[in-house]
Amino acid sequence: METKRIVFVGVGGQGNLLATRLLGEACLSAGIPAVVSEIHGMAQRGGIVESALVMGAMSPIVSKGEADILIGFEPSETLRALNKCNKNTVVITNIRPLPPFTVTIGQGVYPDIDKALDLIKNNVGSLIVLDGNELAEKAGNPLSLNMVMLGALVGSKNIALDEDTLKETIGKSTKQDFLESNLKAFDLGVAASRVG
Amino acid sequence: MPGLGQGLRVFVAEQIIPTLSTGKNMHKLLTDSPGKEIFLLGNEAIARGAVEAGIAIATCYPGTPSSEIPDTFFAMYKEGGFYFEYSTNEKVALEVAAGAAISGVRSICTMKHVGMNVAADSLMTLAYLGVSAGMVIVNADDPSLFSSQNEQDNRYYARLSGLPMLEPTTAQEMKDMTVAAFGLSEQLKLPVILRTTTRLNHLRGVVRFGTIQPIKSKGFFKKDPFHYVAIPAVSRNLHKILVEKNDQALELSENSEYNQIIGKGKWGIVTNGVSMNYVQDAIGDLGIGDKVTILRLGFSYPMPKRKIGKFLTGVEKALVVEELEPVMENDIRSTAQSKGIGIPIDGKGDGLFPRLYEFDPGLVRKTIGSYFKVPDTSPKAVDVTGIPDLPGRPPNLCAGCPHRAMYYAIKKVYGPDAIYPSDIGCYTLGLLPPLSMADIVICMGASVGSSCGIAKATDQKVVSFIGDSTFFHAGIPALINAVHNNHRFTLAILDNGTTAMTGHQPNPGVDTAPMGVDTKQISIESVVRGCGVEHVQVVNPLQVKKSTEAAQASKEFDGISVIISQELCPLFARVVKKAKKIRPFYVNQDKCKQHRDCIDLLACPAMYIADGKAMIDEKLCIGCTVCAQVCPENAILPLKIED
């Protein structure tokens, strides 16, 4: 099958590891060979969290320039991960900033979001933007940003997985209390990527 | 008021500590359903392998990237009917597992690569003694130093100790090789090392379950002092036995299914571990499958010399693809020399593979392409020269972390010129400005030992920091040394009641009752006093005035003094204690005179600046009150919230 290399970037606590795992489990149930890589350890201390899912190959990580899809949970992190992209990469990004603490103590400047998005757009195949946090809140659960982003990935029709397979996986892995909001967040993500 | 910050808190709290499986449904890794396919973390696959092998005893000291193996054991052990412990350190963990395996029950012991250094004294002679039931040592190397102080290559430990080594490549093999390692261990009567790397520990892939073997949980120690008491006269014979076992191991390695020659091409590639994945993908991407022969070494010590010879005689040249040191490369060269084979054998070097850091698929593809002169098919990365400098996002001490409060008090008293040796744990993050509270870090426990030398060699004030788990792990002998040899410095033991950095595992100082187990809690203060320290103060670091006074008293004392800074890690407390209502604070802008002590001296991530004003993110603030105590204008006040 065609190899598809998907990179997820976010900040500790945003839930991109769970999103990557769910995508991997959906691949298993759909019979698509997939392997996932995660970085643990610093995730709970506000650092950058990167994960990847590769369909149809053995290597669990994605080299510079080799992402077919980049999913950014935070816009400056999406920009930071631009070196994973090439001119054909599809980039899906949340646009809600989460400035790092270094900005507060004057050790750096948070980039202008519009300029950042332009930079990304001009260098990759296509760019899908959404306010993932707003959609997650609309779904009734601010924790469901990862479901919004998964929805946007599936809705963008760039992978060989359909909505139902993903929703079934989400259903199996979500606590009952959060199921409704998770599925709603997923749907809102799907819709947003279609509009975008 | 839910926002992302609040979300973060809940999210983190839910998955933060090792949790016993006590639900209605059996733990997913305990079901005896051969053939079932499940998507597993590499470390979970190892734990499942141990369950399938019918382990009786599992021990560990946690450490990234190995920690999820013991955490998975912890979740399962009560239901699974085996014994598990978080041991005090890796040496002890290894000895516990060794005692069990010598007594005839299967045991597994897990650690990160640097833990192997701690365990090495036991390891070297355990190899002489051997075992009677299977014993597997899981060793997790960390190429690229994602969470470690060095990137040593522990394949040398197999060579140093004479113990067989297996190196898996996929999630499935993480499980399968764990099972196989027990069989191998029992065939050779030797512990077997299963060596992984971060990318394997933290990959996820499909694992097909095998059958679960029954547990033999009771053993019997058969007295045999002239085999098990390693005095010189005994060990001379044991060393001979070990060398003989190595010959047997070599034969098993020659015939192992994990050592394969794949393909018939004239271009040779030798590889192991995670690199095997990159090689396979590269060969596919470059379209050179028919031109290549791969020698894959999964049973990597002893190296199968006949198989290597057979491989080398079939190829024109060979490229060795291995992360870190040229271990296989050197062994293969030596085999070629002994067999009179003169083909080029390359691996590390200019234009080839680096000795530093982990590999990635692109690097392996490009290097294979250039070595065999095949056009590179890699896509071109976006030119990122036009991207503005992005602000760093280093990991940071959490909002309300008690370590920050203690750092503040010590720094206030001792100033920026004192020397602050530190140790391995969350508190190492105090390195970062504006706290800047770490001047030297070597390894577990070294804060205390190195402080002795710095204080002796200089006239500088020394305050060293060590966490609770690290203190038990390796700090105690050094503290006894400091007392016995009259060293003069202050040791701050940052006791947050958990092994926080690796995922909140218990340690001997932890009250584990809320985690559902009944280990005995050991008082750090008693231990410190028992070590002979006379100047001991126990403080709550969140009480800034008192902790500052304690620091002052230590500074004035001429000798070794210890401050035990006691406050639960807030992430851990939220899980094990009944959640108290959090009362976040805010900055009263009418009172604030912009000293910015809260930001410049504490650097709590709940604080930020907006429109030139210091502000508190109420979704991140946990109401620790430290900034309110530090503010010279008393401008930081609790938010009024509805109960």
In this prediction, residue A4 has a pLDDT band, given cuts at 50, 70 and 90, of very high
Same domain, B101 and B219: yes
For residues B499 and B631, state if they share a domain.
no
CA distance linking residue B605 with residue B484, whole number of Å: 41
Percent of chain B with pLDDT over 90: 88
Residue B482 maps to a domain: yes
Question: What is the pLDDT at residue B13?
Answer: 33
pLDDT at residue A106, rounded to an integer: 82
Position B2 pLDDT exceeds 50:
no
- b vs e for B588-621, b when ≥16 Cβ sit within 10 Å of the residue's Cβ? eeeebeeeeebbebbbbbbbbeeeeebbbbbbbb
Angle subtended at Cα B468 by Cα B466 and Cα B470, rounded to the nearest 5 degrees: 60
Same domain membership, residue B156 and residue B13: yes
What pLDDT is recorded for position A42? 57
Amino acid B11: pLDDT: 34
**How many Å apart are CA B510 and CA B498, to the nearest integer?**
6
Task: Check which CATH number belongs to the domain holding A158 and give it.
Answer: 3.40.920.10
User: Do B203 and A12 count as a contact with CB atoms less than 8 A apart?
Assistant: no
Kindly compute the dihedral angle of the four CA atoms of residues B541, B547, B551, B557, in this order, to the nearest 10 degrees. -120
Confidence (pTM):
0.96
Domain span at residue B435 reads 402-512+519-576
**What total number of domains does chain A contain?**
1
Indicate the helix (H) or strand (E) that contains B247.
Answer: helix B232-254
Same domain assignment for residues B628 and B543:
no
Number of H helices, E strands in chain B: 23, 22
B563, B622: one domain: no
Nearest to B387 among A65, A79, A105 (CB): A79
**Do residues B234 and B314 both lie within one domain?**
no
Q: What is the pLDDT of residue B25?
A: 80
Last residue of a domain, one of B223, B252, B281: B252
Helix H or strand E segment including B378: none
Q: What CATH number is associated with residue B316?
A: 3.40.50.920
Nearest to B293 by CA among B328, B257, B318: B318
Chain B closest CA to A69's CA: distance in Å? Answer: 13
Task: Tally the C-alpha atoms within 13 A of residue B524's C-alpha that lie toward its C-beta.
Answer: 32
Q: Check pLDDT > 90 for residue B426.
A: yes
> ipTM value of the model?
0.96
Contact at 8 Å (CB) between A85 and B377?
Answer: no
Report the number of distinct structural domains present in chain B. Answer: 4
Please judge whether A111 and B390 are an interchain contact, meaning their C-beta atoms are less than 8 angstroms apart: yes
In a domain, B643, yes or no: no
CATH code of the domain in which B175 resides: 3.40.50.970
Phi, psi of B615 (to 5 degrees): -135, 165
Name the minimum distance, in Å, from the CA of A22 to any CA of chain B.
10
Instruction: Tell me, yes or no, whether B226 and B144 share the same domain.
Output: yes
Q: Give mean pLDDT, residues A104-131.
A: 93
> How would DSSP label each residue in B419-473?
B-B--SSGGGGGGSTTT---SB--STTHHHHHHHHHHHH-SS-BEEEEEHHHIII
Q: Do B362 and A39 touch (CB under 8 A)?
A: no
Reported in sequence order, the residue ranges of B248-369 that DSSP labels E, i.e. its strands, are: 259-262, 267-271, 292-297, 299-301, 317-321, 345-346
Q: Report chain B residues whose CB lies below 8 A from the CB of A33.
A: 206
**Which long-range contacts (C-beta less than 8 Å, at least 24 apart) are formed by B516-520?**
B516/B20, B516/B22, B517/B20, B519/B85
Kindly determine whether residue B378 and residue A66, on different chains, have CB atoms separated by under 8 Å: yes
Alpha carbon of B199: minimum distance to chain A alpha carbons (Å) = 7
CA A35 to chain centre: 16
Q: Among residues A64, B262, B615, which one has the least CA distance to residue B270? A: B262
- Write the DSSP symbol of residue B296: E
Evaluate if residue B597 carries a pLDDT over 70.
Answer: yes
Q: Tell me whether residue B376 is in a domain.
A: no
* Higher per-residue pLDDT: B433 or B252: B252
Within a domain: residue B126?
yes
Least confident span in B86-95, B442-451, B524-533, B616-625: B616-625
Determine, yes or no, domain membership for B525: yes
For residues B514 and B373, is the Cβ–Cβ distance under 8 A?
no
Tokens representing B568? 């639960």
Say if residue B105 is in the same domain as residue B238.
Answer: yes
- Say yes or no: B546 and B618 in one domain: no
Tokens of B238: 């044991």
Look at residue A127 and give its three-state secondary structure.
Answer: strand
* B395 in a structural domain: no
Domain range for residue A179? Answer: 4-195
CB B361 within 8 A of CB A3: no
Q: What is the mean pLDDT of residues A62-83?
A: 97
Give the pair of three-digit tokens for residue B314: 């079939």
Considering only the beta carbons, identify the residue of B11, B277, B379 that sits closest to A143.
Answer: B11
* Digit-coded pLDDT (tens) for B451-481: 999 999 999 999 999 999 999 999 999 999 9
CB atoms within 10 A of CB B313: 11
User: Are B191 and B266 in the same domain?
Assistant: no
SS3 for B459-477 is CCCEEEEEEHHHHHHHHHH
- Structure tokens that stand for A17 in this block: 């590891």
Q: Indicate if B532 and B407 belong to the same structural domain.
A: yes
How far is the C-alpha of B272 from the C-alpha of B258, rounded, in Å?
10
**Within a domain: residue B390?**
no
B533 and B572 share a domain?
A: yes
Residues A40, B607: C-beta atoms closer than 8 Å: no
Q: Which one-letter amino acid corresponds to residue B630?
A: V
Q: Quote the tokens at residue A42.
A: 């610093």
A57, B281: Cβ pair inside 8 Å? yes
